[in-house]
């Protein structure tokens, strides 16, 4: 009887009005070491002088142990590549890596 009452109460509990946030993203292993365009947009607000701007970067993703590194490609051969983020790998399939972008940024 007590178990039935608990199950009944669990059924009456309201479900969240929205799905839980996604913490993981999959990236294909075939796309590692390929070039991607990273578009960063931001807005600065200072009274009436509001403006929006953006910046583009060429990046690639490299696996280093249990991390996926996002590296900005150098614009000049004399300047080394720049590490932008180290993203933890949370899982792996034969075709993809499951990463947590929130923890990497």
The per-residue pLDDT for 41 is 74
Output the pTM of the full model.
Answer: 0.65
Three-class secondary structure of residue 74 per DSSP: coil
The per-residue pLDDT for 26 is 87
Order across the sheet with 25-28: list the strands.
Answer: 25-28, 96-99, 82-92, 67-72, 51-64, 35-44
Mean pLDDT by 10 residues, the chain (105 residues): 45 49 79 87 63 77 93 79 89 91 79
DSSP state of 80: -
């Amino acid at each position: 009887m007590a178990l039935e009452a608990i199950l009944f109460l669990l059924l009456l509990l309201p479900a969240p009005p929205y799905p839980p946030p996604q913490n993981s993203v999959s990236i294909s292993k075939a796309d590692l070491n390929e070039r991607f365009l990273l578009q960063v947009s931001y807005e600065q607000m200072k009274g009436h002088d509001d403006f929006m701007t953006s910046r583009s970067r060429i990046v690639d993703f490299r696996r280093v142990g249990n991390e996926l590194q996002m590296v900005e490609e150098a614009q000049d051969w004399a300047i080394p590549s720049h590490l932008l983020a180290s993203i933890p790998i949370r899982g792996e399939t034969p075709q993809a890596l499951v990463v947590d972008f929130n923890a990497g940024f």
